[in-house]
Structure 1
Amino acid sequence: MNKSLTFIENNHKKEKPKTKEIPFGRTFTDHMFLMDYEEGKGWHEPRIAPYEPLTLDPAAMIFHYGQTVFEGLKAYRTDDDRILLFRPEKNFERLNQSSDRLSIPPIDEDEVMGYLKELLKVEKDWVPSFEGTSLYIRPFIIATEPNLAVSPSKRYTFMIILSPVGPYFSGGIHPVTINVEEKFTRAVKGGTGMAKTAGNYSSGYQAQAKASQTGNNDVLWLDGIEKRYIEEVGSMNIFFKIDGEVVTPALSGSILRGITRTSILEVLNEWDIPVTERRITIEEVYQAYEDGKLEEAFGTGTAAVISPVGTFNWNGKQIVINNHDIGPLSQKLYDTITGIQRGRKEDTYNWTVEV
Structure 2
Amino acid sequence: MQLSLKIIRDPINSLIYLERYVCTKDYHVLANYSEVSKSYNPQTRNDGFELPLLNFPINLHGDVNSIPNILKSHFPMHPDTVEDLKIKMEEIVQYIKVIPTSSMRTVLVDAKEKKVFLKLSINRYIARSKRKLSSKQIIHGLAVTKDIEKALSEKSMQLKDFAFLPEVAGIVTTIHGEEIGAVVRSVEPYPKNNTDRGYIPFFALYSSDINNPSDEPLLVQLIRHNSVDPLDFTLTKIIEPVIRHFNYFASEKGLLLQAHAQNTLLEINPDFSIGRIIYRDFGSVTIDGEVRTKKRLSDFKNYMINGKDNDRVESSIEYSLRYDEFMTAHSFELIGKILEKNFKVNIIIFKEKIKEIFFNTMTCKDKFPKVQYSIPVELSIGKFKPFVLKEIPDYR
TM bucket by the smaller chain? 0.3 to 0.5
TM-score norm. by structure 2 comes to: 0.30
- Which structure's residues are more often strand, by fraction? 1
Relative to its length, the structure with more helix (as a share) is 2
Give TM-score scaled by structure 1 length: 0.33
